[in-house]
Amino acid sequence: MTDKTAEKIPSEAEHLFDESNFAHVSTINEDGSPQTSPVWVNRDDGHVVFNTAKGRVKPRNIERDNRVSLSVHNEDNPYENILVQGRAELDEDGADEHIDALARKYLGKDEYPFRQPGEERVIVRITPEKVSYTPPA
CA nearest 87: which of 59, 50, 125, 36? 125
Q: Looking at the whole model, is its pTM more than 0.85?
A: yes
> pLDDT tens digits for 116-135?
999 999 999 999 999 999 99
State how far the Cα of 64 lies from the Cα of 49, in Å rounded to an integer: 19
**Structural domains of the chain ordered from first start:** 11-134 (2.30.110.10)
Instruction: Starting at the earlier edge strand, list the strands of the sheet with 42-44.
Output: 34-39, 23-28, 67-74, 77-91, 121-134, 47-53, 42-44
pLDDT in tens, 73-82: 999 999 999 9
Q: What is the mean pLDDT of each run of 10 residues along the chain (137 residues)?
A: 72 97 98 98 96 97 98 97 98 97 98 94 98 93
